[in-house]
Chains A and B, each alone.
Chain A
Amino acid sequence: MKRILGLIIVGVVVLGAVALPEPPPVAGPDFVGPQERESVAAATASVWYCPWVASGALRDSTVMIATKVPLAAEITLPQQIADEDADLATVSVVEPGAMVVPVGEIVRRGDTPLFIELSDGPASVAVVESSTQLLTGDTCVARIPKVWELPGGTTREGRTLTLRLFNPFPELAKVSVSGASESGETGLIDLQNLDVAARTWQDVNLNSLVPLLDDLALTVTSSEGFVIPSLVVAGLTDEASWPGVAPSANWEFPVATVSAQYAPSLMLTNSGNAPVNAVVDVYTSEGATISAREVVVDPSVPRRVDLSDLADGAMGVRVRASAPLAAVVLAEESVAAQQPTDEEGLIDEDTILGDRIAGTIGVSVPATEWLLPGLQAVAEGSSSLWILNTGTESATITLQALGSSATAVSKQSVPPGTVLGVPLGFDEAIGGYQLESSVPVSVAWSAEATTGLMFVSGTVVGG
C-alpha cells in the first residue's frame, strides 16, 4: 500500500512538473544595426564630412553652414600625416541662420578635408572651393556607409580624375576600389586593400591607373573602418566634385545645366546583377518631356546619357529605373571659347573660357523642406536656385534667406512638371536659404562665374 501510494503521489507531482509550460522566448532586438545615417538635416546633433576642401596659396575654400536652430560647430581638419594633431576651430551660430567660414582663416596648408560636428539640428553643411581658375563644391555628407557608389568619372583626354579617400575616424580603414567602364569591369589591382590611416586621407590619380576611359564608375568598399570618398573631375581649369551616392530607383536632378552653353549629361551605373531599364524625364520652365529617353543600363557598364538635345537651356531631370541605380549629372561647357584675347593672338589663360564643369548628385525622394547652405554666398559668381516639381500639383514655395541680415521672405510658385530657376546673385549678408514647399519638390542650386560652374544639391530637412 505504501509503495503504491508513494508511486501515485510522486507520479502526480511529476506530472504537475511536466505540465508546466516553457516560457515563451524573449523577443530579440528590434533593430539589426544602427539606423543608417542619411545626409539630411535632422533635428539632432550631426557630423558632416567634407572631403574635397583645400586652402592654400592657389585655392580657397569656404564652409557654409545653414541651420534652423542655434548651434555650435566644431570643425576638425586632420593632417595627411598620421598621428599629427588636427587643426580645430569652433564657431557658434547663436540664432537660426547661416554662417560662412573661410577655411583659410583656420589654416592654410593646401588640401584640408574636414569634418564638422554640429551640436544641434536641423542644419546642413556645404563647401565651396575656388581659385582664379575654378569654382567647385557640393554639399557635404553625413552618411557613412561601408559601400559607396561614385558614378560619373572619366579619364578621357583633357580630363583628370581623382578619387579622394578621407578617413576622419580614429582607426585604420582598409578599402578596396573597383571600377566599371564602357568596357565592363576595370581592374584596379593597385587599389585593393588600400590602407587609409586613421584621421588622414589619400588621393588616387585614376588617369595613371586606367587612362583614356570615357566613362568610369567607381565602387569604394571598406572592409575595416570607414572612409568618405569624393570624386573629382578636372578639366583644363575648372573642376567638378561630388560625393558618393547610394543607389536608388528614382532620382531627381533639379539642375542638369543652367544654359545651353553647358552640355548636360546623365551618368548611370548599375551595380546589380541584371540590366536595369531607366526612363529619363526632362523638365524645363516650360514643362516636362516624359520618357524623353529610355535606356538600358547593363551591370558593371556605366551609361552616359547625353541630354543636350532634349531641351534648350536650363533643365532638370528625373530618372525612373526598374531597379536601383547610381546617378550624377554633369554639365560641361560645350563650346570651347578659346579665342585669342589680344592682338598677338595669344590666349590669356587667366580668362580662358570654355572648359567649365559642374556635377552633382541627385535627390532620391522629393521633400517639402530644404536647407541650402551657401546659396547666394558665393562671392566669385552669381547663384541660382533650382526647384523641380515633378508632381501633379503646383508648389508654393516660401524662401527664407539665412544670414546675418536674413529677414527677407519671398514666395514662388512652381507649376507641376516644371523646373523653376531663381537667380539670386551674391549677398555677403546671406549665407544660405531655407525653403519650404506646399508639395514635395527637389531643390539644388548653382553658382556660375567666369572661372567655373558648380552645382550643389540641397539638403532635405527631416529624416
Chain B
Amino acid sequence: MSSPGNPKPKIVAAVLAHDSTEVSESISRVRSQVYGTDRIVVVGAGSGGRHAADAAGVEWMSTVPNLLGSIDSSITHLWLLYAGALPRPDALAALVDEAERTDAAVAGSKLVHDDEPDRLIAVGIATDVFDVPYLGLDEDEIDAGQYDVVRDVAAVAGVSMLIRRDLARGVGGPDPKMTPEAAAIDICQRARLRGARVVVVPSSEVLFPADRFRTTEWREGAGRIRAMLKVYSLLTLLWAIPIRFLIGLLEAIVSPFLGRWTLFNFIRAWLWNLWHLPSLLSERAAARKGKAFGDAELFRFQMRGSARLSAIGSEIGDRLRSRLDRSDNLSVASIGNDLRQPAFIVGVLTVLTSLIAVRALWSAGWPAVGFSMPLPESAQAGIGAYAGGWNPAGFGSVEQLPPLVGLAGVVQYVLFGSPTAAAWAMSLAAVVAGIWGTIRLLRTWDIEVVAGWAAGIVLVAGPAAQAIGDRTAIGYLLGLGVLPWAIRVTSARWPWSFARKLGRIAATAWVIGMLGLVAPPLLVVPAFVLLVRGVLRPADVRAWGALGIALLGTVIAIPLLLPWVAVVDIGSYLTSGSEFWTPSLVPLLAIAAAFVAGAIAAPGRKLDAVILGGVLVGSGAIVARGHDLGLGREAALCGLAVVALGSAFVVGGILDALRSADVAGWRRVVAGIGGVAAVVLVATTVFPLFGGRAGLPADDFAEPLRFTTAADGEASNSRILLVGPEATLPGESRVVRGAAYRVVSAPVPGLWEAELPEPRSVDVALEELLDALIEGEESRAGDVLASFGIRWVVATGETPLEAVFDGQLDLISLGGAKRPTFLVDSEQPVRAIATSGVAWSRSGTGYEGGVAEGDRVFLAESANSRWGADPWVQSGWGNEVSAATGTAEFNPIESRRNQAVMAAALFAILVVFSAFARRQR
C-alpha cells in the first residue's frame, strides 16, 4: 500500500509472449488481479503476439524498449510477466506493497509449479560470479512457507518482475539479445550497479510450467557470459573470464560421462559473444555509466565458488551414493554388476587418469626435449608464421611450418594466448579423447567399456605410444587421441536422413582433417584400418561402406592442411630423417601372447577386433622399422601410431573375451593367459602415465638454458649454438665433419623451431666457421658468432665440437652453467642491430626498435626480400632493412595466407554443418 500522501503506484503489465499461445490465460490472470493495472500490453512474438493481443482486447508492442517509450511519466512501475505465467490474484498487490515498503526498485515473485502449486520452482535467484543461477532448492522441494520472507537477492526470475519505470528506462530495459532468464539476471545486476534494491516477494505467487523455467540452451549460457561481461570491472574480468572458460571446458569434458554433451554449447556460447562483441561493448559502456556501486556490491549477493562445478559435484556425488548406498556394495555380485555397467566409474577413471597423465604440463607446457618444444609466446605469431609467415627455425626461412604449429596457435589464442594452458589442454584432450574414443569405437564392435578403457589406456600410453613419446613426437601423441574417433565416425551406423548423411561425411572429413593437422601422415590411417577390416571381413558391406566414407572424408580433409599440403614435398617428407623401432621384449611378448590367445579363444566380433589389431600391429611395425625401405621419421611415427591402435584392439578384444559366456573350457584357459598378457601390457603404461607429461620425456633444455635470461639485456634478442650428440639436440640438427650442432632461439626454442629448413648461405657460413675452428684456423670465433646473433655456445653432451671453442680470444667459458657453456665476448651478439649500434628486440617472428630516419637495421636472418621495412638490401647472407618505421617484419606470402584462411573456413563449415545435421531428425 502506498503511504498516505503518496499517490498509488500506477502499473503497466507487459505480457512477454514467445508465441501466440498461453497469452490469453495470462492476460485474464492479470485482469483478475486485486491491484488493478493501468494498461495491459502484449510484447513480442510478432504477428502471433499481435493477433493474441487483438483477441484478448489489449495493446501489442513489438519490444520492451518500444513499450517503455510509449509509457508516460504517470506510470510508476512496469510488471513484466511471461506468457504462460499464472499469477495468483494478489500477486501484483504483494509485489507493489513490498516494493514500496522496502523501497526496492525491482521485485520478483515466488514461482511454483503450475500443476503442483505446493512445489517450488524459485524464490529469488542467487548467482555465482559468472552469473550462473543457483536456486538453493532441492528437487521437488515442497513450499511450506520456509522461504516466505522478503529479502534481497542477486536477481529475480523474469517470469514475474516488477520494476520501477524510471529505472527500466534508465537501464534501457531487458537486453533483447538475451534469453529471458539471462536478461532478468542482467537487468537486476545493472539495476544494482545503479544502487537499486532487488528483492523477492514470496507472498506474490506465480504458477509457471517448471520445464520452461530452466533451459540448457546454449543461448542461455551465452547470455550469462554476456551479462557477466557487461557489468564487471576490467580487473574482475581479468580473472573471471579465464576461470569461466576453464569451468566451461571442464564441464564439457565431464558432462558426457553424466549423459550430457555440452562442448558445442560451450563453444557456441563463446563464439556468439565474440560475434556480438560490438554491441556488448556499447551495452557495457551504458551499463557502467552512472553506476553507484562497484563489483563488490554485486558480490554481496552472490554465492562463493562456481554454481556449475557445485552442480556437477553434487551430481557425481549422487551417482556415487546411489551405487554405494546398497548394503551389498562389496559383494562379488555387486562388483560384477559394476563391471557390467561401469560407464560412470570408467568415465571418472578416465578423467582422473588423464589429469594425472598431463599434470606436469599445467605449469610448464610441453617440455623442451627432442622434437617437443614449448609453444611460442605469441599465439598470433604462431598462426601468422604458419599462414605464410616467416619460419624462424635455425636462421629462418620461408619453408612451410607443419600444420600443428597453426593448430596449436589457434588453441593458444582461444586460451587467452597462454602457451602452457594450450599445451596442457591439447594434451589433456588427446588423452581423454583417446581413451574415450577407444571405448566408443570398441563398443561399436560389441566390446564393453572396461575392456575398452584398458584398450584406450594402451592406445595412449602403451608401448607404441611410449615409443612415440620417447621420440618426442607431440603431434602423433595428440593424433592418438583423434585416431579412434576418426575410425568410429566412419564405422557408426549410416543414417537414413540425407542431411545427416551429409553431416556424417562432413564430420568424417573434419575429424580426419584434425588427424592430419596434428600429424599429416595419420590422414591415411583411418582408411588403411578400414581397408584392412574390409579385407578381413570381405562380406561385410558396412565395413566397405565405412572405407568409402573414410576415403571420401580423407579427400575432403586434404584441403584442411593448406597451405602445408600445397607446399611440402610429400616424398621427401616421408623419407627424411631416420627412425627405427626396436620394441622392448616384455611388452612385445605381452602383445604377442594377447594376440595369439585372442585369435584362439575370442568369440565373434571380438575375434575380428583381435585379428584386425594383430594385422595393424604387424603392418605398423613394418612401417616403424622401414628404414631399409626408404621410410623416414614421419612414416615411422605413423607406423607406431598404427601399432598403438592395433595393440589397443588386441587388448580390448582379449579382455572382453573373458567376459563372454561363449568362451568356455580350454578356450577360457587360453583367454585367461591372454588376459594376463593384456593386463601386463596395461601395467606397462603406468610409468608414462604417471610421469605427468603425457608420455613425453622430462625437459632437457628449458632449465639448463634458463641462465640466458639472467644475462644483460633480453635473452630473446640472441641465439644459442648447441653442440652435442644428435640425440641430445633439440629437433633436427646439422652436421659438420660428423659432429652435430644446431642453432636455437634464446632462452628456449619454440615448437616452430623443431624442424630445420634446407641449408642456406647463412648455414654454409656457420658451417665454414665451425670447420675453421676444427682446423684451428680461427681465433676470434666470438666475433663471427656474434654476427649470426649467437651469444652462447652450449654443449649438450660429449662432442669434440666443445673443445674447438677453447682458446678463442673472445669466448668466455662460463664455469657456473649446468652444461659446458661459452659466452661470446662481443659488444652486440644480437639477431637484429641498427647501424647506430642499437640492438632491436625480437617481437614474434620480427623485430622492433627505435624509429630512426635514415638508419638501417641488419637482421641476422636468412636473406629474403620480403623482409621490410623497405628498402630491403641483402647484406651477405643476411638482410638490411630500413629502421624508419621502428619495426622489421616479414611480409607474409599472400597465397599461403589465403590458403590458410580457406582451410580454417572449410574446417569451421564442416564442424558447424556436421553439428547442425546431427540435430536434424
Interface residues of chain A, those whose CB is within 8 Å of chain B, are 2-3, 6-7, 9-10, 12-14, 16-18, 20-23, 26-37, 42, 44-47, 115, 117, 144, 168-171, 198, 224-226
Contacts and interface: CB of A to CB of B under 8 A. Distances in A.
Interface stretch (B244-252, B621-629, B789-797): B621-629
A22 B581 CA distance: 9
5 contacts: A22-B627, A32-B800, A33-B803, A45-B779, A170-B811
B618 A13 contact: yes
Contacts of A20: 622, 625-629
A273 to B, nearest CB: 26
Interface residues of B, number: 53
A7 B596 contact: yes
Contact of B807 (A44, A46, A144): A144
Nearest to B824: A170
A9 B615 contact: yes
Given A6-B614, A10-B614, A170-B810, 17 more contacts: A2-B611, A6-B536, A6-B611, A7-B596, A17-B622, A17-B624, A17-B625, A21-B628, A22-B627, A28-B738, A29-B737, A29-B738, A29-B739, A33-B804, A46-B777, A170-B811, A170-B812
B534 to A, nearest CB: 14
Interface of B: 536, 578, 580, 582, 592, 595-596, 599-600, 607, 610-611, 614-615, 617-619, 621-622, 624-629, 726, 737-739, 772-780, 799-801, 803-804, 806-813, 815, 825
A136 B886 CA distance: 58
Given A33-B804, A34-B776, A23 B615 contact: no
Contacts of B777: 35, 42, 44-46
B780 A29 contact: no
A198 B628 CA distance: 53
Contact of A169 (B624, B626, B808): B808
Given A17-B621, A170-B810, A170-B825, A31 B737 contact: yes
Contact of A13 (B622, B624, B778): B622
Nearest to A199: B809
Given A10-B614, A225-B813, A45 B607 contact: no
Summarize A's interface: helix, strand, loop or mixed.
loop
Contacts of B775: 34-35, 44
Given A20-B627, A32-B800, A168-B809, A117 B780 contact: yes
B800 A45 contact: no
Nearest to B601: A3
Contact of A29 (B580, B772, B799, B810): B799
B599 A29 contact: no
Q: Closest 10 interchain pairs by CB?
A: A13-B618, A17-B621, A6-B611, A10-B614, A33-B803, A29-B738, A29-B739, A35-B776, A47-B779, A34-B804
B625 A31 contact: no
Nearest to B782: A170
Contacts of B627: 20, 22-23
Contacts of B801: 29
A227 to B, nearest CB: 11
Contact of A224 (B614, B804, B813): B813
Nearest to B624: A17
A12 B600 CA distance: 17
A10 B599 contact: yes
A7 B595 CA distance: 9
B226 to A, nearest CB: 57
A170 B812 CA distance: 6
A16 B622 contact: yes
Interface centre among B595, B607, B626, B777 (most CB of A within 10 A): B777
Contact of A27 (B618, B738, B772, B799): B738
A368 to B, nearest CB: 22
Given A20-B627, A23-B578, A170-B809, A37 B776 contact: yes
Contacts of B808: 169
B615 A13 contact: yes
B814 to A, nearest CB: 9
A31 B774 contact: yes
Contact of B618 (A2, A16, A26, A29): A16
Contacts of A14: 592, 614, 617-618, 621
B543 to A, nearest CB: 15
Contacts of A33: 800, 803-804
Nearest to B777: A44
A2 B607 contact: yes
